[in-house]
Amino acid sequence: MKELIKYMAQALVDHPDQVEVSEIVGEQTSVIELRVAKDDLGKVIGKQGRTAKAMRTILSAASTKVRKRTVLEIIE
Amino acid sequence: MKDDRIEVEGKTIDEAITKACETFGVPREKLHIEILAEGTPGFFGLGSKKARIRAGLLKIDVTSIIDEGDGLPARPVPPPETDGSLTTQEGADALRAKEILEGILERMQIPCPVSVEENEEIIFLNIQGDGGGLLIGKKGQNLDALQHILNKAVHRGGNGGKMIVVDTETYRKRREEMLVNLAARLGEKVKKTQKAVTVGNMNAHERRIIHLALKNDTEVVTKSRGEGDLRKILIMPAKREKARERRSHNQEATAK
């Protein structure tokens, strides 16, 4: 899951080297924290949060497959 | 050349002819072209019927034409494409889109091969194999999400470029057919009742399908109302019809 978010974020931003992803694994639910360069924040969030929403949708589709729940937090 | 004549498909007859020229490596004047089927443009290259032509070299001094290459840049003659794939040339964007999509799928643990087609308007990515509906999601939301990410990732500058469409299991085509049917049904309803109908819960692309489906219908007019997620499509009877009806209504009223 972590790799998935990292891959998508790196494809979206201008500074892929500054993308940091950490995963807090829980029994049922995991939280993925995404950090990007300040001027890339808008790119991962998108207009009206559309890009962030799209990433969450893909994340939850991938999680369903392994019967888990994963939450994406974008950290400012 | 043993392949004397080949059959070529294209979105339009012109495109098929261009492809035939490329295949033979000669300009159009040197080809004998027979039109087998005229294409009908679908929407965004989806649901369209391809144009088919049969092309062969004209018999006059065939060898000298091929030897000289006649104006076209020297290139290895590709095998005649009779399978009719839309791919004319795969641009850098198309390849990048395919690569990213495959990367995402792999990390979703749904590794599926992706085929890519490109025309003048869109880059069309088709996820092969069965994602078991997981790739489509409720109302196509997973497919739309993938598509959104890809558009953003490939056109990172934000200056647009060709729209990237992601599809699997012919979902987009099925959805389009469904929407065209819906549009036709609602159009009939509006004509019958002479009252406007609104349909909500659609994205821009789906609204566009409705608009286009009713574009040629002179008896109804379509409009979009509202903003953002609340934007709805409005199908109403054409004004002239309305005005005429009102006039006759008034005449009836005054007659009484």
Sheet holding B51-57, edge to edge: B5-10, B51-57, B31-37
Residue B143, both tokens = 């497919």
* Out of A10-14, A37-41, B90-94, B185-189, least confident range: B90-94
Q: Please report the pLDDT score of residue B7 as a whole number.
A: 76
Does residue B2 sit in helix, strand or coil?
A: coil
Neighbour-count burial of B106, counting CB atoms closer than 10 A to its CB (0-12 exposed, 13-18 middle, 19+ buried): middle
On chain A, the residues whose CB falls within 8 A of the CB of B109 are: 62, 65-66
Return the C-alpha torsion angle A20, A21, A24, A29, nearest 10.
150
Check whether B254 has a pLDDT greater than 70.
no
Strand, helix or coil for residue A17: helix
* Average of per-residue pLDDT across B90-106: 89
pLDDT at B66: 41
Work out whether strand B122-127 and strand B163-168 pair parallel, antiparallel, or are unpaired.
Answer: parallel
Q: Which residue, among B156, B211, B155, B201, has the nearest Cα to B180 in the 3D structure?
A: B211
| Digit-coded pLDDT (tens) for B41-97 | 555 555 566 777 777 776 544 344 344 444 444 444 444 443 444 444 458 889 999
Neighbours of B53 (CB within 10 A): 24
Cα–Cα distance for residue pair B174/B43, rounded to 1 Å: 12
Q: What is the pLDDT of residues B208-221, one digit of tens each?
A: 999 999 999 989 99
Closest CB from A3, A14, A53 relative to B107: A3
Q: Are B146 and B166 in contact (CB under 8 A)?
A: yes
Q: H/E element holding B161? A: none
Strand pairing of A29-35 and A69-75? parallel
- What was the pLDDT predicted at B63? 40
Mean pLDDT taken over chain B: 77
Proportion of chain B in helix, strand, coil states, percent, rounded to 5: 40, 20, 35
Q: Determine whether the interchain pair A43/B228 forms a contact, defined as Cβ–Cβ distance below 8 Å.
A: no
| β-sheet bridge partners, residue B225 | B232
- Closest CA relative to residue B169, chosen from B190, B187, B193, B142: B142
Contacts of A54 in chain B (CB under 8 A): 144-146, 148-149
Q: In the predicted model, is pLDDT for residue B238 greater than 90?
A: no
For B162-198, the pLDDT digits (tens) are 899 999 989 999 999 999 999 999 999 999 999 999 9
| Res B17 pLDDT > 90 | no
Q: What angle do CA B184, B186, B187 make, to 5 degrees?
A: 60
CB contact under 8 A, A58 and B108: yes
**Residue A47 pLDDT > 50:** yes
